[in-house]
Structure 1
Amino acid sequence: MFSDHITTYWNQFLGSIKESSSQPLDFSGSFHFGGKEDATSIAALVATGSKTSTGSLLWGYECENKPIPSIGEYNIITDSDDMPVCIIQTTTLSIIPFDEVGEQFAFDGGEGDRSLEGWREMYWEYIQSECERIQKIPTMKTPMVCEYFKVVYNEPFQQEFK
């Protein structure tokens, strides 16, 4: 299931929502962006609104038999120590070949120099690594799950003491 920190942070978020909101929230889980060494710096980009998009390899979801993200779902973003930083909600989703991802998506990814060229270089390394892991051959047409999200909760984690 979820760690105590994740459960506590989710409950902290739920407690901040006005009671008139009776709509159930689709909590998908928690994750960090990038490798462990980059997770804290990328989480800060998300929390400040510099990063509002991310891409992932469709084949990875298929290989692991996991559903792709869905519009409206919530995820807790964690840092390098797996501590909650903020909660995002997926707003837009599309599946696009790697070589058709556009400049705006790359800019909204918030990382590096925010250029399409920089994004492609960074993501090509990711694609090659993932394809090697799942034994697929990467091409410029490799399908990317391109996701936009918004930060819906950005309060500090409040440790509960027992």
Structure 2
Amino acid sequence: MDDIEAFWERAQQHAQLATLSSYMGESVLATLRPPAWAFGATPEQADELLGLVLDGSKTATASALWDYEAEGEDLPVAGTLGIVVDSSGTPRALVVTTDVRTVPFDEVDEDHAHAEGEGDRTLAYWRRVHEEFFTEHAGHDKGFASDMPVVLERFRVLHAESSDAD
């Protein structure tokens, strides 16, 4: 059994996902392992942002809608589970998406910027670092635009584990 599968088994028990009843028997939450992914685009970002999730500062994230479209990926929806890994690929947190909305970059509000937990948690800081991120790490060919559609996602940690390095 790999690390992610073992983490998933522990997380299901801790978050009591396997005990949720389903009309057809075992809950689908107990049978389908969610995708594993890391925040950011670099190992340093993955660990920094994961640290903010684990300490409770980060309860939201933002992605370029154009990246989802370029990759042919579905947008997250409320209730989506995800396993967040660190830069080494070690699973560290099981999260559930609680809210998703898409707005133009220049209409992201102070509340969302604060929920992302980064820097001084202000909108000005959020706009500066996210413009830089969306410019440098675009997974599409449209570049950055102040009115580009941004997917704002809120999430909650259902289970977290420390690493040997913590």
Interval containing the TM-score (normalised by the shorter chain): 0.7 to 0.9
The answer to whether structure 1 residue 110 and structure 2 residue 114 are counterparts is no
1:44-76 CA-to-partner distances (Å, cap 9, x unmatched) read: 110121100000000001011111111101111
Q: Tell me what 1:5 maps to.
A: 3
Identity over aligned pairs, percent: 34
TM-score of the pair, normalised by structure 2: 0.85
Indicate if the aligned counterparts of 1:27 and 1:73 stay in contact, CA closer than 8 A: no
Aligned partner of 2:158 among 134, 152, 160: 152
Indicate if the aligned counterparts of 1:57 and 1:130 stay in contact, CA closer than 8 A: no
Instruction: Write the distance in 2 (CA, Å) between the matches of 1:89 and 1:151.
Output: 7
Indicate if the aligned counterparts of 1:60 and 1:130 stay in contact, CA closer than 8 A: no
Q: Tell me what 1:56 maps to.
A: 63
Instruction: Write the distance in 2 (CA, Å) between the matches of 1:64 and 1:151.
Output: 26
Shift, 1:130, TM fit: 3.8
Instruction: Write the distance in 1 (CA, Å) between the matches of 2:17 and 2:50.
Output: 26
Secondary structure at the aligned position of 2:79 is classed as coil
The answer to whether structure 1 residue 41 and structure 2 residue 40 are counterparts is no
Report which stretch shifted further, 37-46 or 101-110: 37-46
Aligned partner of 2:28 among 20, 24, 44: 24
Q: Aligned pairs, how many?
A: 155
1:18-62 CA-to-partner distances (Å, cap 9, x unmatched) read: 764224226431111122112122111101211000000000010
Considering only aligned residues, what root-mean-square deviation do their CA atoms show, in Å? 2.0
Give unmatched runs, 5+ long, in structure 2. Answer: 22-26
Shift, 1:89, TM fit: 0.2
The letter for the 2-side match of 1:121 is R
Q: Tell me what 1:88 maps to.
A: 95
The answer to whether structure 1 residue 128 and structure 2 residue 135 are counterparts is yes
